[in-house]
A and B are shown apart, each in its own frame.
Chain A
Amino acid sequence: MSQDTLLPGQPVPLPRGPVPQLGGGVYTKGGQTRASLVGALRHEGSTMTISRVRPHPPAPNSVVLGSVTRLSPQQAMVSITVVDDVPLPAGEEFTGVIRVQDVRATEKDKVKIGDCFRGGDVVKGLVISLGDARSYYITTARNDLGVIFATSEAGATMEPVSWQEMRCPKTGRVERRKCAKPEGL
């Protein structure tokens, strides 16, 4: 096992044949390919990578889970807690923002934030860009993105009825949210 584990700066033995593409965890400098993480080299298809499943900051096209912290007519602020299926340590959340034009793909100008998100909702989104100094820009404009979990005004966990509505099982009331399509449907 220790024979396969590479250390940062250690040259990577390239296989014979076509030069593989470099994934994460390796870099090339001065014509020499070296490792940049402590780990074993893995070949996934034509890509060579050293993977380390650990919490990392969001990058464009990462799927993130977060909870809505603040609402304004122009955007919803989200505290990102899970990035690419890896939960972040407590206290080290990143902040993200869902702008009103990124909530859904159709009728973007007629969006009312209060009908899409409420405070405390758990939302699944996709990072579109690094945004500004304080927050990442997130979008929910896809069928499988949006509110995953929300509690109703009565305090019960709501079930999604359609992409725009969720129903409280206790009172039967229907509340408007931009719901994510549950997996397996």
Chain B
Amino acid sequence: MQTAFDRRRINGPEESSPPVFDDDDQNTAVYASWKVGDPRRVRQPQDIRPIFLKAGLTSQANGSAYIETERTKIACAVYGPRQSKNTTYSETGRLNVEVKFAPFSCDVRKAPMRDAEDRSISVLVQQALVSSVRLELLPKSVVDIFITIIECDGMEGCVAAASVAASTALANMGVELYGLVVSCAASSVGKEIWLDPTEEEARLASGSLIFACMPALSTVTNLRQSGRMLPMDAIQGMDMCQERCADIHQIVAQALLASTEGN
């Protein structure tokens, strides 16, 4: 079998097998014995995981932020406004989002090459942020946002956390914004709506929702629903997300004020 020979990295041996461990009891899944109709474990349905957010950690980038929610860890760096290498002239600036998963971020190892999943997350984050940046003040320029996902627990939660980190990094950089974007995910499990699902909870869910808004202006910037959800459940999910977003906005505000006080 021909293994892909990657010139840019140090390749391991061609044949390798995973090590065999003893069964450790700590690794039993939280929802191993869960069935439809049971309540949520560990948290209340409307609780989100506690967020740690810090701005300005990457000194070489123009703006940066790091967000951690239990087992989701994302670092974001923004560069710009730089001259757009595009040959077409544009009156307004462009926002370019690039997402990269670390190979050790998910349960199954992800190859270092960019694939369709990276691009679909980039598109979601870009849609959430583009209406919050005053791009008309940046002609011929491009703002680059680089998001590195260090650990990922639940894809929807990941997209939401990435949007929050990117918005914090943009504010930290000093580009003019209409408002701060915060984002929250929800999933419909049985007859309930659970906010901020983990990977396991997302697998039990029949449908999920990612909601991004600017609480300061009371506008929704992005809404993505996937899977199967009743319209009433979707609307209930959006209302719950909107309430939570007001709390997340407070966290972002505190992180930004803390970073300016440090200067």
Name which of B79, B134, B173, B216 has the most chain A CB atoms within 10 A of its CB.
B216
Distance in Å from the Cβ of A94 to the closest Cβ of chain B?
5
Q: Contact check, B260 vs A39: say whether CB atoms are below 8 A apart.
A: yes
Q: Contact check, A9 vs B141: say whether CB atoms are below 8 A apart.
A: no
Name which of A38, A39, A52, A55 has the most chain B CB atoms within 10 A of its CB.
A38
Distance in Å from the Cβ of A98 to the closest Cβ of chain B?
17
Residues of A within 8 Å of B90, CB to CB, are: 133
Q: Contact check, A57 vs B171: say whether CB atoms are below 8 A apart.
A: no
**Is the CB of A25 closer than 8 A to any CB of chain B?**
yes
**Is the CB of B178 closer than 8 A to any CB of chain A?**
yes
Known contacts A2-B261, A7-B171; is-contact A56 B178 (Cβ 8 Å): no
**Is the CB of B197 closer than 8 A to any CB of chain A?**
no
Name which of B62, B138, B174, B257 has the most chain A CB atoms within 10 A of its CB.
B174
**Is the CB of A5 closer than 8 A to any CB of chain B?**
yes
Q: Is the interface of A mostly helix, strand, loop or mixed?
A: loop
**Is the CB of A92 closer than 8 A to any CB of chain B?**
yes
Q: Contact check, B176 vs A36: say whether CB atoms are below 8 A apart.
A: yes
**Is the CB of A157 closer than 8 A to any CB of chain B?**
no
**Is the CB of A163 closer than 8 A to any CB of chain B?**
no
Known contacts A8-B180, A9-B177, A89-B62; is-contact A134 B87 (Cβ 8 Å): yes
Q: Is the interface of B mostly helix, strand, loop or mixed?
A: loop
Q: Contact check, A38 vs B260: say whether CB atoms are below 8 A apart.
A: yes
Chain A interface residue count, CB cutoff 8 Å, equals 31
CB-contact partner of B216 in A5, A9, A95, A136, under 8 A: A9
Q: Contact check, B174 vs A5: say whether CB atoms are below 8 A apart.
A: no
Known contacts A9-B217, A133-B88, A133-B140; is-contact A92 B180 (Cβ 8 Å): no
How long is the Cα–Cα vector from A38 to B63 in the complex, in angstroms? 12
Q: Contact check, A25 vs B176: say whether CB atoms are below 8 A apart.
A: yes
Q: Contact check, A57 vs B216: say whether CB atoms are below 8 A apart.
A: no
Q: Contact check, A1 vs B178: say whether CB atoms are below 8 A apart.
A: no
How long is the Cα–Cα vector from A89 to B174 in the complex, in angstroms? 15
Residues of A within 8 Å of B172, CB to CB, are: 38
Interface residues of B (CB under 8 A from A): 62, 79, 81-84, 86-90, 132, 134, 138-141, 171-174, 176-180, 214-217, 253, 256-257, 260-261
Extra contacts, 4 of them, besides A8-B176, A133-B84 (Cβ < 8 A), are A1-B261, A5-B260, A7-B256, A37-B177
List the 8 closest pairs (A to B, CB-CB), nearest first: A9-B179, A9-B216, A8-B177, A133-B89, A36-B176, A52-B174, A54-B174, A94-B83
- Between-chain CB contacts (< 8 Å), 23 pairs: A5-B257, A7-B180, A7-B253, A7-B257, A8-B179, A9-B178, A9-B215, A9-B216, A9-B217, A27-B176, A29-B217, A34-B217, A36-B134, A36-B178, A38-B256, A52-B174, A55-B62, A89-B62, A130-B140, A133-B86, A133-B88, A133-B90, A133-B140
Interface residues of A (CB under 8 A from B): 1-2, 5, 7-10, 24-25, 27, 29, 34, 36-39, 52, 54-57, 89, 92-95, 130, 132-134, 136
